[in-house]
Structure 1
Amino acid sequence: MSTAARPVAFSPPVHRVRSGSKPALLVAEFRGLGDIAILIPFLRAAVTRYEVTLLAVPNAGGLLQRFVPEVELIPCVAPWALFSGSANLPRWPWRTLWRIWRELRSRRFAAAVSIWPLASDHLFLRLARPGRLLGYGRPGAGWLLNDNLADGGHVHRPETWRRLAEKLHLPAIAMASPRLHPPVSARRIVLHSGASQPLRVWPLERYAELLGRLRAQGWEPTVLCDPDQRETWRSLGEPLARAAGSMDELIDTIAGGAAFLGNDSGPGHIAALCGVPTFTIFGPQIPELFAPAHPQAAWIEGKPCRYKPCYDRCRYAEPFCLTGIDTEAVGPKLSSWLETIPQSVFTGGNGGN
C-alpha cells in the first residue's frame, strides 16, 4: 500500500463531545504512514491526559482507527511537506489551508507538538494559537517554539516523540510494542517490496533471489507489494504477490509474520508497531534516524554517499547507495538474523488487540 499523500478537499471533522476534564492537544505529522506508525505510541500515551487532535495525511485514518480510535483526525496535506512541487506556492491549496486554520482557531488547544525541525511546520501550528508550542528547531530557527527540545545531534525518530511525551508529563512510552497477535507460523516471513519513494525500492529481482534462498532454508515467505509491482512479481515467478486492499489487511498480514523484510518505508514501521522483528534494506536514509522501533530490528545500511541522509532528494541518476547493495551482501546477514527469530517469537510477551 502506497504511503504517498494526495491532495484532498477539506471537510471539517465532526466535533466530538469534549469531556471538559481534559485539555486539548494538537499533534502534527504531515508525512507518510511510516511516520504515523512511529507516532502511534505517543498518541496512546497522550489520550490518557488530553483530548487529542491529529493533523495528518488522509490515509492516516486507517492506522488511527485500528490502534488509537480516540484521536480525532483533521486531514491535511501540507504542500511544503510533499516530495515534489513544494516550492510552487501559486499551486498550494490556499483556500483549503485557510479553512483548516479557521477550524483550528475555533479550538482552544492547550499545546501543539511536532517533531520536524521546520519553520513551516512551526508557523502553521503557531497560527492555530495554541497555549504552548513544543518541538525541535534547528539552531537559530526555533524562535516560534515555546519549548525547543533540539540538542543539535541526530535523534532516532521514536525517541523524539518519547522526549515530547516526557515534556508533557505523559505516561512513559515503552521502548517496543508488544505483538498484536501471535504469528501464523514460526517460519512465516512477510516481505513488502514497496515504498512511497521509488529511490527507496531495492530491485525486485534481488528480492526474488532472496526469496529462493529463504525457501531453501525452510522459511515461508508472503509477498506484499505496491500495485504497480504485481506484474513484475508475476514475471519473477511469484504469482501470489499482492497489494493489500485495505489498511486492516496490511496490518493483519504483517502481524501474522514471525519476521518482516522490506525497504526503508512505512510497512517496516507498521511491522514494528505490531511487535514484529524487522530487517530493513536502507538506501538514502540512515538507520540512526529511521530504523524501525523494535529491539530485534536489524538492517543493512546503504553504500556511503557524501549527501546522506538526503531525505529522498538524490543528486544522481539513480540511488547508488541502494542499487549498489547486492544479494551477496544481504543474504548472509539476513540468514544469521533469522536464526534468532523462531525462538524469540513464542517466548516474548504477546499483546492483545
Structure 2
Amino acid sequence: MKKKIKMLLVILSLLCLYSCKSSEEKTKEREEKMLDDYVEMLENEFNLTLDKWEYYVKEEHIVGGNLIKNPESYVLYKYDVPKYKSEFFYDRDLIHVESPPTKFVFRDGSMLIPFLKYEDIEKVPFFNKTGKSNLLFEIIDKYGLRPYLWSQLIYDKSKGNDFEKIESILKKHGIKYDKEHNMGSFGKWACGIIQKEWNGEIFTKSLTRHNTTLTVMDEECGDEVTEGKFERMKIYGKKFEEYFSKPRKFEEIDWYEFMKYNDIHPIIVIYVADSPEEKVKKIVKEIRPYYNHKDFTILFSYYIENEKEYIEKYLW
C-alpha cells in the first residue's frame, strides 16, 4: 500500500510540475519537440542531416484559405535568413506543419502532384512518401536551392551569369519590383514546359505563374501528369532516391551539383505589368547575353488586351 501511495505521489508531483509551467514554457517545449521531429524525419526518411542549431520552430496562428485559424501550426525558421541583393527577389512563404512530420501518413497523391491517384503515386520512387517528400522539397526550396539561385548562381560570371547587368537593363526600361503582384517562389517539384500565354486548359503542365526552383523541363512528363500517369515521374523519383541514398548534410550540399543530378531547371519570373509587347521583346533580347540559359530561365510575365479581355503572356 505504501508503495502505491508513493507512486501516486510521484505521478501527482510530475503532473504538478507540468501544470505549474507557464504557457510560454509549455509553448517553448512544444516548439523544441517539433524541431526535433523535423530533424528526425529528414534523417530517417532521406538520410539528410539538418543542423538543428541553425533553425528554430515557432508555434503560430496560420490563417488558411478558409480563414480558419489553426492554433497548432509549427513554422520552421532559419536564424541566418538569406538576404537577396536584388529587389526582384523576396520571401513571403512559410514552411509549417500541423502535426509531427515523423507521423505523416500516406496521403492522396494530389497533395504532392495534382491528378495522380493514391494507387499511382504509391508506385513512384521518392514521391511515394507524399507529405514527407513535399516537406523536404519546401525545405530545399526555401533554405537551399533558392538562396543559392538568387544569391549566387545568377551572379556567377564564371558560369555565364551577370544579374547586376540584367537588373541595370531592367531599371533602364523602368521595370521595378511590384510588391502588389505576388510572384514569390512555389516550393514544389513540377515537370512540364513553359507556355507562351496563360491558358486554363494547359496550365496543369505549364511551369509559369510563379518563381519555381524545383522544375524539370520535360513536356512528356507534364503531359503524363495531366493525364494522371506517372512513367516519366518514375525517372525523376529514382534520381532523387539515388541522390539521397547516401548520408548528406543539408548545409553542405552542392546545389549546382544537385540541380544537374536531378535535371532541375529553375524559372525566375519577372512581372512587367502592362508593358507593350515590343518593349518586353526588346528587354528579353538585351538581357539574353547575360545569363546561361542551360542553367535557368528568366521569364517575363505581362498582359496584352485582346478584344474585351486581357491575356497574360510570357516571353523568355
TM-score when scaled to structure 1? 0.27
Structure exhibiting the larger radius of gyration computed from Cα positions: 2
